[in-house]
Amino acid sequence: MASPFGKILLITGNSEFEAERTRRRAVAAVMTAQPECQVTESGASGLQPGEFAGLTSASLFSDATAVVLSDLQDLPEVAQAELLDYAGVTSPDVAVVLVHGGGNKGKGLLDKLRKIPAVSEVKVEQPKYERDFTSWVQREVRDLGFSVDADASAALVASVGQDLRALSGATAQLIASLDEDQRTVDLELVRRYFGGRADVRGYEIADAALSGQLHTAMETVRWAETAKVAPLLITAAFASGLRSLARLQSAPDGRRDNELASIVGVAPFKLRILRQQLNGWDAAGLAGAIRAVADADVAVKGGGADPGYAIERMVLEVASRRVR
């Protein structure tokens, strides 16, 4: 492993979880390379003139020093000049970790740092679409030395939600549950550990209703009510499903699946399910179903007397909008 000393690690992007995890790993690498290293962590906004030079100077207590600066986007101009001067001629006994929270603030400093040979950058962007979270799970599993199929990763996202910290913990739990000779996380394993989660039930109700399986949808709604599933999870699942169908319906013809999946905002494998569902919908039906979900969302947030009744009425209304 290359030594972190004499180098600057630049962490950029708006994913707080991944930025923090990358920062922790960088500090751990520093301590592994030099256990007696003195680590100083500071917010960039409060640095006064001369302070950065002081942080990167030799320590009386250790031969090695590490400096971790968070919120780099708020670094004052005087301190920026000091940082750039140091980056041009780094110390072989000092490791520096810089954390930028994303966005355009401080972009000029980033552009200058990126041109300096001693600086290496790790970008940590927050996933945006459902397919991005599915891909994130697949990378997480792969980084741990295992594999996961597309159905399993999508089911895990639907079950746990889109909080990266929770997804990371769930991924670690699934891998820990594998038998010694197993290397793949499959759909059966995800369902075994997370199949009873409320989020899964919300998507099950939505998928059943959007596919025209009214009996199954209503049966699952009543199970969800008994299990105290939050109605907001159900309306959110319906809204997500209908938005995907609407985007697929309005997408240009002749696109390849990967490109089409990007337009719709889902993983490519999910297009098959959406196409099957879309066979029963036209534009007017989708518009009416979206209105029904919006009305139910208002009701369950306090605009109606009985959230359970609002959910059942929404399911019936959405199912009635299918053309076949």
Is 237 within the bounds of a domain?
yes
Between 82-91, 104-113, 210-219, 252-261, the lowest mean confidence (pLDDT) is in 252-261
**Joined tokens for residue 192:** 């075994």
How confident is the model over 16-75, as pLDDT tens digits?
889 999 999 999 999 999 998 989 888 898 888 889 988 888 665 667 899 999 999 999
38: containing domain: 8-123
Burial of 227 (0-12, 13-18, 19+ CB in 10 A): exposed
Distance CA 204, CA 196 (A): 11
The whole-number pLDDT of residue 23 equals 93
Domain boundary among 60, 90, 123: 123
Specify the CATH number for the domain of residue 312. 1.20.272.10
Specify the CATH number for the domain of residue 145. 1.10.8.60
Count up the domains in the chain and report the number: 3
Is 150 within the bounds of a domain?
yes
Query: Which stretches within the chain are classed as H helix?
Result: 16-33, 51-55, 77-88, 107-114, 130-143, 150-160, 164-177, 187-194, 198-210, 214-226, 231-250, 257-264, 271-278, 283-298, 307-320
The whole-number pLDDT of residue 265 equals 82
Is 2 within the bounds of a domain?
no
Give the closest residue to 231 by CA, choosing from 322, 307, 119.
307
Cβ distance 5 to 95 under 8 Å?
A: yes
The whole-number pLDDT of residue 61 equals 63
Domain boundary among 123, 153, 181: 123
More confident residue, 251 or 258: 251
Give yes or no: residues 217 and 299 share one domain: yes
Give yes or no: residues 281 and 216 share one domain: yes
Full-model pTM: 0.62
The whole-number pLDDT of residue 306 equals 84
The whole-number pLDDT of residue 271 equals 84
Give yes or no: residues 148 and 240 share one domain: no
Give yes or no: residues 213 and 316 share one domain: yes
How confident is the model over 218-241, as pLDDT tens digits?
988 887 777 677 788 888 889 989
Percent of the chain beyond pLDDT 90?
49
Domain boundary among 123, 156, 173: 123
Cβ distance 86 to 53 under 8 Å?
A: yes
**Joined tokens for residue 293:** 């979900």
Distance CA 97, CA 20 (A): 11
From residue 34, alpha-carbon distances to 72, 141, 232 in Å are 25, 30, 50
The whole-number pLDDT of residue 295 equals 92
Grade residue 165 by pLDDT with cuts at 50, 70 and 90: confident
